[in-house]
Amino acid sequence: MKTYNRLFAKITAFFLAVIVLLLVPAAQMNVRAASFSDTYLTSGHTGLDIIDDSDRQAAYGFLTNYMNNLITVNNPSQAIIDRLNEVWKGANTYIAGTEITVSRLIDYCNETVANFDLVMKDQVAVSGTEEFLFISTNSIITTAKYGEYTYLTLSIINLGKADVTDVIITPHESTDINKWPFEITTASNALVIPKICASSDIYTAHALAQEATWIFLVSKEAKTGTYPLTFDVQYYMNGVIASTELTTYININGAPGAGTLNDSGQDDGRTSTPRIIVTGFRTDPEVVYAGDTFKLTINVQNTSLSTAVSNIQFDLKAASEGTNSETTYEAFLPTSGSATKFVSSIPAGATASISIEMTARSDLMQKPYVITLNAAYEDSQRNPYNMSSNISIPIKQEARVDSGEVEILPESINVGGSANIMFPVYNKGKTTLYNVQVDFIGDSIEGGSTFLGKLEPGATGNVDAMVNGIAPTMDDGIIIAQISYEDEAGNVSYLEKEISLYVFENYYEDPGYEDPGFYYEDPEMDEPQGVFWKPIVITIVVVVIIAIIVWRIIASKRKKKRMLKELDDLDDEEI
């Protein structure tokens, strides 16, 4: 019975300790919220006994609960959590692999708790950054005018006890002209300062101040007044990431009629006009070619901070092309047949998107085309309003390059000789070609590069080039005329044209022999090759002719002698 009571008491003490850990924010107490003792052990071991697995499990559970409670209560940064996990893993490794007494286990667990608390103190130490990061008092308020560029500089000082590094400063941008008087031209305006050194006094701080400078374009709709500008500041201090905010001001000379920041937005008891503006658009695909079907998405915003708009009808109208009323047509046509979109409502300050699928006419020139967005809508009092805005969609045309028939004079050359190559280059597309050039590529020739320059749509460039033979042709005699050209963006394209041109090796001939053309060796000829065979042939022919003449003379004499003998025989018979 006593053993049972003792066991029950230890279990109760363990759960009470866990409850205390859950309820008390450990890192925010002046003393540790809990400590490990033999009351957590269920083995009944005394301080001098060697621990067993049940003692280890009790220690694991205590340290795990303690660390998890620190994280839950204080919500530390990821860097702090990683450091807590390193302490926890080191403690588990030590407890699992070391034979120690119960007394040493208790001391070690309490030492680990103290290490947990030290890590959390680092988190608390850097939480109040506003106490040591300031904008220097030497910074003056900038004055800027609507529609003009202006410089905005933050000079930041560090009055803390430690340096801060990797400082990222990001302005709070807004599409609300009452909060942000500049045009939004980039996706991010974040700047980085590598390091801001700590300073013990204000004079040293000013000397060590670091500056971040932006160039902003003041909106043409900016109001007159002093705008507060807020910047997010994120940095590292003692290896821990932290953040704060800094605020500066700028004086804006607003556009005429834009009003001031102190305007109440009311006129004769009426609410201000809720306006819908286009904040951006995109096309899918991003680059639209003539003849393509694309999806257009337009983002709009209700700029009113107090009035919602409803029953919004958007009408899109593309720019008209053509020379007169009978031949005009719209550059873009909706695939669904309707260019009207309806949005039921847009809350105050909220945004909405409208999408429509359209087809660009195939005969459009390469240039930007305007689409007008008209909107009719109502406010909460059913007062009607209208708006109109333009967006511009660049249209690209596929380049179409072709070439005509090639003329080569002569059609074959010897090494060291030259051939004149002529052919036309046609721009059959609707886009201008820039830096048109023709280069000739082949192992047997060199030279001939011809620069044609700019070719307007429908224009023709004529190539008249001289190429030189540098080596005999060893293949099928094909050389390449490579036509290169650029589009308006400077992208280079190529077109290759095959040309037949043979280059022969030089040879020497008998000065008395008249060459009928070019020399060609037939490997199937049985006659001896070279310049020595011609006299031999001539000699043989002469000998044959002489032999025939001699034979004919001898034959003629023999015939005459035979005829005389026959006449003599006839005379003898008559006598």
Summarised one tens digit per residue, pLDDT across range 180-218 is: 999 987 777 889 999 999 887 777 888 888 998 999 999
What whole-number distance in Å separates Cα of residue 415 and Cα of residue 548?
A: 47
Q: Which is more confidently placed, 431 or 299?
A: 299
Domain identity same for 447 and 430? yes
Phi first, then psi: what are they for 359, rounded to 5°? Answer: -120, 130
Tokens 């070619």, residue?
Answer: 289
Q: What tokens appear for 437 in the block?
A: 């050039």
Same-domain pairing of 34 and 141: no
Selection from 252, 248, 250 nearest residue 137 by Cα: 248
More confident residue, 56 or 524: 56
- Report residue 496: phi and psi, to 5°: -110, 140
Which residues 6+ apart lie within 8 Å of 436 measured at CB?
425, 451, 452, 453, 454, 455, 461, 483, 484, 485
Per-residue pLDDT, 271: 55
Average pLDDT, stretch 164-178?
89
pLDDT category of residue 387 using cuts at 50, 70 and 90: confident
Query: Could you tell me the pLDDT band of residue 574, with boundaries at 50, 70 and 90?
Result: low
Residue 510 lies in a domain: no
Final residue before a domain boundary, out of 352, 381, 396 = 396
Mean pLDDT of 27-50: 61
Is 113 found in the same domain as 20? yes
The answer to whether residues 119 and 23 belong to one domain is yes
- What is d(CA 418, CA 383) in angstroms, rounded to the nearest whole number? 83
| Averaged pLDDT, 365-375 | 85
Note the pLDDT of residue 450. Answer: 92
- Supply the pLDDT for residue 23: 42
How many domains does the chain divide into? 5
Q: Say if 334 falls within a structural domain.
A: yes
Say which residues have a Cβ less than 8 Å from residue 137's Cβ, sequence separation at least 6.
206
Both tokens of 457, joined, read 């749509």
pTM for this model (two decimals): 0.37
Any domain includes 261: no
Alpha-carbon distance values, 23 to 20, 28, 186, 451 (Å): 5, 12, 48, 84
Instruction: Supply the CATH number for residue 446's domain.
Output: 2.60.40.10
pLDDT of 436 higher than 90 = yes
Tokens representing residue 35 in the block: 């400590």
Within-domain flag for 511: no
Distance (Å, rounded) from C-alpha 196 to C-alpha 198? 7
Predicted local confidence at residue 463, as pLDDT: 93
Shared domain check, 371 and 407: no
Q: pLDDT tier at 512 (50, 70, 90 boundaries)?
A: low
Same domain, 359 and 383: yes
The phi, psi pair for 422, rounded to 5°, reads: -135, 135
> Could you read off the pLDDT of 206-252 as tens digits, one per residue?
888 899 899 999 998 888 888 989 998 888 887 778 888 888 888 89
Instruction: Return d(Cα 234, Cα 245) in angstroms, integer.
Output: 9
Q: How far apart are CA 528 and CA 523, in angstroms?
A: 11
- Whether 392 and 406 map to the same domain: the answer is no
CA-nearest of 278, 253, 419 to 352 is 278
Q: What are 150's two structure tokens? A: 């202006």
What are the CA-CA distances from residue 52 to residues 12, 49, 96 (Å)?
Answer: 21, 9, 10
In-domain check, residue 571: no
Average confidence (pLDDT) over 66-90 = 81
132, 136, 163, 196, 213 from 208: Cα distances, Å = 14, 10, 11, 7, 16
Are residues 120 and 134 part of one domain?
Answer: no
Mean pLDDT throughout 557-566?
76
Helices 102-125 and 53-74 cross at an angle (nearest 10°) of 10
The answer to whether residues 157 and 101 belong to one domain is no
Residue 207 lies in a domain: yes
Q: Which of 176, 181, 263 is nearest to 220 (CA)?
A: 181
Q: In which band, very low, low, confident or very high, does the pLDDT at 4 lie, cut at 50, 70 and 90? A: very low
Structural domain contains residue 180: yes
Q: Which of 396, 427, 457 is the last residue of a domain?
A: 396
Share of the chain above pLDDT 70, in %: 80
- For position 485, what pLDDT does the model report? 92
Q: Give the chain's mean pLDDT.
A: 79
Boundary-marking domain end, from 93, 125, 157: 125
Residue keyed to tokens 């280069």: 439
Instruction: Assess whether pLDDT exceeds 90 at residue 281.
Output: no
Q: Is residue 120 domain-shared with residue 207, that is, in the same domain?
A: no
CA distance 287 to 289: 7
Q: For residue 225, is it left (φ>0), alpha (ψ between -120 and 50) or beta?
A: left
Q: pLDDT category, 129, cuts 50, 70, 90?
A: very low
Q: Are residues 306 and 408 in the same domain?
A: no
Instruction: Provide the pLDDT confidence category of residue 449 given band limits of 50, 70 and 90.
Output: very high
308 and 364 in a single domain? The answer is yes
Kind and range of the H or E element at 553? helix 533-574
Kindly tell me if the per-residue pLDDT of 6 is higher than 60. Answer: no
Rounded-to-integer distance, Cα 241 and Cα 123, Å: 9
Is residue 362 one of the residues assigned to a domain?
Answer: yes
Q: For residue 37, what are the domain limits?
A: 2-125
Q: How confident is the model at residue 468 (pLDDT cuts 50, 70, 90)?
A: very high
Return all residues near 190 (Cβ < 8 A) that are at least 6 apart.
Answer: 168, 169, 170
Give residue 480's pLDDT: 92
Confidence band of 77 (pLDDT split at 50, 70, 90): confident
